């Protein structure tokens, strides 16, 4: 915008009295009908509700061609959305919330995904979007009546539902970013308040990703500093049987210190970006730091 245009706009703004401007109330009513706001839910599920609204914004901008394009895992956007509905439905099933779509034949995430994709195959992208969004909303509303430590196992292993929902936030985020890239849109990261609990989950997963990849943690510890809004510093004892838990801002010695961007780190855990090319500053035991980063994507799947 050139100086003349800025001047023109400032002059218009200055000449318009605040009392002349129409009130915002009608706008907000219509806005709600055009694109649904994030569903009101408990604080620990708010990051998920925010990512669902963001995915919905990606879908709002998707063209007919985008819906049919292959996004990830050989799935079209429509199949990807069906996959999200399937996984959200597994959490819904765990906590007694309504499960949308065809009857659930089993608890395996990939089998349920295939069921949901077959069901959505005969429907329009708008119908697929609607079922996904509705499943997310009934789950969010239901969670207001669920204890956060209720077990849930969308990925096989039981975890407290509050962590399962952070996992759902992360997966919804990673896939909405996949979809945005396919549609040549740039998706901004979650607000800091939503990103921080997801980063905390990622830090707490590190001992488990080490275990899953067979890396020998051997009682060692790393400190992880995630930079940017929503980041922080975590002390991470790398053995799952270490009595010390992964904690933010905890004192204690670490053999290595990894400093990296909070968004890049969450995406690494989500299977996006290679550990070898992740921009990171490392102090101390570089070999250990590399083992931790290489193991980090261990739980990322479709």
Partner 1 sequence: MGHPGDDALLHQRVVSGDESALAELYDRLAPLVFGLCVRVTRDRAIAEDLTQEVFLTFWERPLAFDPARGTLRAWLATIAHRRSVDHVRGEERKKASQLGPRLFEREPDPVEDTVLDAEDSVRVREAVRSLPTEQREALEMAYWGGRTYRQVAESLGLPEGTVKSRIRQALRQLAGMLAEEGVR
Residues that bind partner 1 (CB under 8 A): 1-18, 20-22, 24, 26-28, 30-32, 34-38, 49-54, 56-58, 60-61, 63-64, 180, 185-191, 194
Q: How many CA atoms lie within 13 A of 12 on its CB side?
A: 7
Q: Residue 25 or residue 241: which is nearer to partner 1 going by CB?
A: 25
Closer CB to partner 1, residue 32 or residue 107?
32
**Could you say which DSSP state residue 276 is in?**
G
Q: Which two tokens stand for residue 140?
A: 């969010």
Q: In angstroms, rounded to a whole number, what is the distance separating the alpha carbons of residues 186 and 301?
A: 23
Residue 293 beta carbon to partner 1: minimum distance, rounded to whole angstroms: 27
Residue 43 CB, nearest distance to partner 1 (Å)? Answer: 14
Would you say 38 or 254 has its CB closer to partner 1? 38
Return the exposure string of 248-259: e unless at least 16 CB atoms fall within 10 Å of the residue's CB, then b: eebeeebbbbbb
CA distance 205 to 87: 19
In angstroms, give the least distance from the CB of 52 to partner 1.
8
Determine the longest span between alpha carbons in the chain, in angstroms: 70
> Please, what is the Cα angle at 300 between 259 and 246, to 5 degrees?
45
When the beta carbons of 28 and 286 are compared against partner 1, the nearer one is 28
Three-state DSSP class for residue 235: strand
22 forms beta bridges with none
- Tell me the closest approach of the beta carbon of residue 53 to partner 1, in angstroms: 3
Closer by beta carbon to partner 1, 25 or else 122 = 25
| Least distance (Å) between residue 123 CB and partner 1 | 19
Q: What angle do CA 83, 266, 203 make, to 5 degrees?
A: 115
Structural tokens at position 247: 């904690």
Tell me whether residue 7 or residue 240 sits nearer to partner 1 (CB atom).
7
In the complex, the smallest distance separating the C-beta of residue 143 from partner 1, rounded to whole angstroms, is 16
């Amino acid at each position: 915008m050139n100086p003349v245009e800025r001047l023109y706009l400032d002059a218009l703004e200055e000449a318009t009295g605040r009392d002349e401007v129409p009130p915002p109330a009608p706008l907000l009513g219509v806005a709600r009908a055009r694109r649904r706001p994030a569903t009101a839910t408990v604080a620990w599920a708010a990051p998920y509700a925010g990512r669902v609204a963001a995915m919905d914004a990606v879908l709002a901008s998707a063209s007919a061609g985008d819906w049919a394009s292959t996004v990830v895992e050989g799935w079209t956007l429509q199949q990807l959305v069906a996959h999200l509905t399937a996984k959200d439905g597994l959490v819904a099933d765990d906590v007694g919330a309504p499960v949308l779509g065809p009857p659930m034949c089993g608890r395996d995430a990939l089998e349920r995904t295939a069921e949901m994709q077959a069901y959505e195959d005969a429907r329009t992208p708008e119908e697929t979007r609607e079922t996904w969004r509705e499943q997310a909303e009934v789950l969010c509303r239901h969670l207001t009546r669920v204890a956060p430590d209720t077990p849930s196992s969308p990925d096989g292993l039981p975890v407290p539902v509050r962590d399962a929902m952070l996992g759902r936030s992360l997966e919804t985020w990673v896939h909405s970013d996949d979809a945005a890239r396919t549609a040549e849109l740039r998706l901004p990261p979650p607000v800091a308040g939503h990103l921080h609990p997801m980063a905390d989950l990622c830090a707490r997963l590190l001992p488990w990703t080490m275990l899953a990849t067979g890396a020998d943690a051997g009682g060692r510890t790393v400190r992880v500093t995630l930079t940017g809004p929503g980041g922080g510093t975590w002390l991470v004892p790398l053995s799952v049987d270490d009595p010390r838990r992964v904690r933010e801002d905890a004192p204690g010695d670490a053999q290595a210190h990894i400093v990296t961007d909070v968004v890049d780190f969450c995406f690494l855990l989500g299977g996006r970006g290679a550990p070898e090319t992740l921009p990171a500053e490392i102090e101390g035991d570089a070999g250990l730091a590399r083992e931790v980063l290489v193991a980090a994507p261990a739980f990322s799947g479709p």
